A and B are shown apart, each in its own frame.
Chain A
Amino acid sequence: EDKVVQSPLSLVVHEGDTVTLNCSYEVTNFRSLLWYKQEKKAPTFLFMLTSSGIEKKSGRLSSILDKKELFSILNITATQTGDSAIYLCAPGGSQGNLIFGKGTKLSVKP
């Protein structure tokens, strides 16, 4: 059965801190892994990773995938209160459906 585990489940940090969110997965016919940010609305797309070892960056956010060890990490540097959200990891199989983890709830305090 497909499985996605995110850790930690929740995290409280102060502005300026750097955080690392973890995602391990076991997915049949894995093709790609996506990261989403969800505030009080629908998930917003952040990154899609398909190759091991290639870091994707967008401003203060970056992510990397390890297809051998079956995990991905999402880094956020110099956190801001606007980064407070639930971060969802979703590997996808060959059929295209995404399997979502339970998410990491990040709270950034001023």
Chain B
Amino acid sequence: KAGVTQTPRYLIKTRGQQVTLSCSPISGHRSVSWYQQTPGQGLQFLFEYFSETQRNKGNFPGRFSGRQFSNSRSEMNVSTLELGDSALYLCASRRQQPYEQYFGPGTRLTVT
């Protein structure tokens, strides 16, 4: 069974630009969660989507948004990029129950 895939793997953007990251979950998994990982803050939850609906949201500004499509693929968008948005963005998928989430390889975003 194929794992969670994320594209692109690496990205360099300039302050003020916007970026869209993509995540394809494991087949049969309907829930997709997004996390930001930085050396200082560790892994922080951004949001979760289930059946195309945002089910839960972490404590991030409105510049961070996402969506999920009918095939469970998900995209995350960050607008007006700031230097502090440089991080590894991880996507994880799971079935609705149980809660074990499986992570993709991540997208390393660098904002200059």
Chain A contacts to B: CB under 8 angstroms: 31-32, 34, 36, 41-45, 48, 50, 88, 90, 92, 95-103
**A-B pairs under 8 A by CB, number:** 58
Query: Which residues on the A side are within 8 Å of B94 (C-beta)?
Result: 96
Query: Which residues on the B side are within 8 Å of A90 (C-beta)?
Result: 43
Given contacts A31-B99, A42-B103, A48-B98, contact A95 B42 (CB under 8 A): no
Question: 7 closest pairs, A vs B, by CB?
Answer: A100-B43, A42-B103, A95-B56, A97-B45, A48-B100, A102-B42, A32-B99
Instruction: Assess whether B58 is interfacial by the CB under 8 Å rule.
Output: yes
CA A96 to CA B56, docked complex, whole Å = 8
Given contacts A96-B55, A98-B33, contact A32 B98 (CB under 8 A): yes
The number of residues on chain B lying at the interface, defined by a beta carbon within 8 Å of a beta carbon of chain A, is 23
CA A100 to CA B38, docked complex, whole Å = 12
